[in-house]
Amino acid sequence: MVKEIERAGIPVVHVCTVTPISMTVGANRIVPAVAIPHPLGNPALEAGEEKALRRKLVEKALGALTTEVDGQTIFE
């Protein structure tokens, strides 16, 4: 899906936990996530902290979208 969105001309960032899969699939902007069943959250945290964690990841994702890349890049 990520490639088709890119092909349509829209910059796209893939937020996922198993980044090697994303590399194989061919995503260009990749942001590693927390865990498979909760990529943008952590149920062990209390609600406020969890949302702050999610915000950080979304900021990182938006950061990736505003960064020029030359080929596949993982934004650690």
**What residues line the site for another protein (CB under 8 A)?**
1-18, 20-22, 24-29, 33, 35-41, 43, 50-51, 54-55, 57-58, 61-62, 65-71
Half-sphere CA count of 61, side-chain side, radius 13 A: 16
Minimum CB–partner distance for residue 75 and another protein (Å): 12
Min separation Cβ 76 and another protein, Å: 14
Q: Which residues pair with 73 in a beta bridge?
A: 29
Cβ-contact 39, 65 below 8 angstroms: no
CB of 66 to another protein, least distance (A): 5
Residue 65 three-state SS: helix
